[in-house]
Structure formats: structure tokens, C-alpha cells
Amino acid sequence: MYEQMAVIRRTEKAAYDLFLAGLVKGTTHLASGHEAIAVGASFALRPDDYVFATYRGHHHAIARGATPEACLAELMQKATGLCKGKGGSMHLTWAPGNMLGSYAIVGAHLPIAVGAAWSAHLRGTSQVAVAFFGDGATNIGAFHEALNMASIWKLPVIFVCENNLYMEYTPIGAVTAADHPAADRAPAYRIPAKIIDGNDVIVVRDTVAEAAARARAGEGPTVIEAETYRHYGHSRTDPAKYRPAEEVERWLKHDPLDIARARLEALGVTPDTIKSIDEKADAIVAAAVDAAKNAPVADVREALTDVWADGGSAWRT
């Protein structure tokens, strides 16, 4: 788990640097600081469970098996990108890993995750669907419709709120009529809720595992509010000046990688071993950056493909 978090951290740093260098255009929403949520959850889930993420979703794509190279290539508009250059940073999707998308409309994927859970229920497969979303998403209509429907139909879906305390540039408390944006709303929908330290990968894993077991046993949905923090701003190179310096400092000291390292050391893993994992992660991401830089640009022929299931885009005869 530590290795995967280390790879994600370096991938996000690479994305940031590439953006500054003008090699990544448009926008990115980096997940540095959120690694433990994606990785801990992924280790608690089966390969055939479904994951749905927001536009801040690079960590979820990688946690479910997308390579850093394909992710960075997508950001750099390359033909080898995860989505052939047709989606970009906000739409990283890795269907072979059942990571069924990063969604750019806030909250939209929650009902979609409910649908995947409904599908699993109808097919009797004991699969679980997990929707990861931010604190900001708890105030949009789709959040409430999704929780209500998941609850009344007792569907195997887990709602994981990555509460990083800010709805874009605004402190979540200023715009939310609840102290805990996801966990305090859950009881209104008769859904059990847990508030956890989202930066401790072991806690995340164990909490998601418990929720998944509940779901597979037919006991319905769970809401997990995982407290965490963005290391970067909301998007692109936002310096996040709206966050108080002491708050930023406090959270940077509560780094998920440091916490995981401490746990590993407590288990007897040596600093040398940890260092070699770090170096391995460095190498993986450096190679990924190189490969992505050298890949060909998105193929123009793909501009008119993939609208329909037959691969085409014909609208008329």
C-alpha cells in the first residue's frame, strides 16, 4: 500500500511540474494528500468491485490499476493516454480495473454508482460499488437522491466523502448546514456513517472492508467521511491563499505517507527498505514521464470515433 501511495504522490508532482512546463494544458485537480483514501479503499475491495471518482481522480485510477504512464499521457494529450486523449485529467477511466470513471459534474456519479450497485444486486454477484466524492458534493441534489435511493433499495454501495475542508475555494463550513457534511446527513437517509482519519491508510482499509462486508451481506449502504487535506490548491496552480498558514502546516505534518511509514516502522520494516520503495517509486514515475513525453500526440482519426457502440459517430443516412 505504501508503494502505491508513493507512486501516486510522485505522479501528482509530475503532473504539477508538467503543467508548469506547459506540457499539460487545460486543468488538473491533484490528489496529493488524498492517497490513503484511494489506496486503503482499493486494498479493501475486490477486483470486480466498481469505483467511481470525481475530477480529482488520478489517485483512484492508479489505485485500480491504471499506469502512471497512461495517466500522464492522457494529461499530455497523447495517443497512448488512458482515454486516447479524448477525456483529459478530469475523466480518467480504467474499465479493466472496474474504475468506471472520473466525473466532472459535482455529485453526478453518485446516482451512477447506485445504478452499478443496483445492477450487482440484480445479477446477484455480491459486487460492491464505491462512490468517492468531496465535501462540496454533499450539498448538490444528486447526493441526496442517491443516498435516499440506495437506502430504500438497500443497495451495496459505499459513499466515501473525501472531506478536505474546502469546497473549491470556500471553507465547507461556510456553505453547509451540518458540521460533518456527509456523516451528519446519512442518518436522515437511515444510512450508518463513520467519520475517520482519511490519512491513515490502515484505518481507511479497515473501515471500507467493514462497509463492503455489510453491503455484500445485503445490509445496504454506508457513508464514510474521511478527513483529509489537499497539498496543492483546488486546480491547476491555485496557490490556495484562502487557507490559513497554520492549518496548512498542521495538515502537511499529518501526511498520509508519513503515517504509513511510521506504521511500517512499527511493524519492523527498516528505513532502508522504505528508502528502496521510495526509490522504486521515483524510478517508476520518472520512466512514466519519459514514456509519456515521447509518445505520439492523439490520433486525429479518433476525433470522430467512439460516440456509438459500433465505434462510429454517424448521425444521419
Partner 1 sequence: MTETEIITYREAVAEGIAREMRRDPTVVCLGEDIAAAEGVFKTTVGLLKEFGPRRVWDTPISEQAIVGAAMGAAMTGMRPVAEIMFSDFFAVCWDYVANEIPKARYMTGGQVTVPLVLRTANGGGLGFGAQHSQAVENWALTIPGLKIVAPSTPADVIGLMAASIRSDDPVIFCEHKGLFATKGPKPPEGHVVELGKANIVREGTDVTLVGLASTVHTALAAAERLAADGVSAEVIDLRCLIPMDLSTVLASVGKTSRLVTVEENPYQGGWGATLVSVVVDEGFQLLDAPVKRVASENVPLPFADTLEEAVIPTVDKVVAAVKSVVNF
Closer CB to partner 1, 105 or 262, in the complex: 105
- How many CA atoms are closer than 13 Å to the CA of 298, on its beta-carbon side? 19
Toward partner 1, which CB reaches closer, 43 or 153?
Answer: 153
Residue found under cell 492522457: 74
Residue 130 contacts residue 157 (beta carbons within 8 Å): yes
Interaction between residue 260 and partner 1 (CB under 8 A): no
Integer Cα distance of 277 and 199 in angstroms: 19
CB 44 within 8 A of CB 205: yes
Residue 129 binds partner 1 (CB under 8 A): yes
- Grid coordinates in use for 269? 520494516
Task: Catalogue the long-range contacts made by 276-280 (C-beta closer than 8 Å, 24 or more residues apart).
Answer: 277/2, 277/3, 277/6, 278/6, 280/3
Is position 119 an interface residue for partner 1 (rule: CB under 8 A)? yes
Q: How far is the CB of 156 from partner 1 (least distance, A)?
A: 12
Site for partner 1 in 159-198 (CB under 8 A): none
Q: Between residues 39 and 83, which has the closer beta carbon with respect to partner 1?
A: 83
Name which position in 22, 123, 266, 301 contacts partner 1 (CB under 8 A).
123
> What are the start-end ranges of the H helices in 168-297?
201-216, 245-253, 256-266, 271-294
In whole angstroms, the minimum distance from the beta carbon of 185 to partner 1 comes to 15
**Which parts of 59-118 interact with partner 1 (CB under 8 A)?**
81-88, 91, 93-95, 100-101, 103, 105, 108-118
**Cα Dmax for the chain:** 68
Considering only residues 135 through 164, tell me which ones interact with partner 1, judged by CB under 8 A.
Answer: 141-142, 145-146, 148-149, 152-153
Question: How far separated are the first and last CA of the chain, in Å rounded?
Answer: 53
Residue of 62, 73, 120, 167 interacting with partner 1 (CB under 8 A): 120
**Which residues of the chain form contacts with partner 1 (CB under 8 A)?**
50, 52, 81-88, 91, 93-95, 100-101, 103, 105, 108-120, 122-123, 129, 141-142, 145-146, 148-149, 152-153, 302, 305-311, 313-317
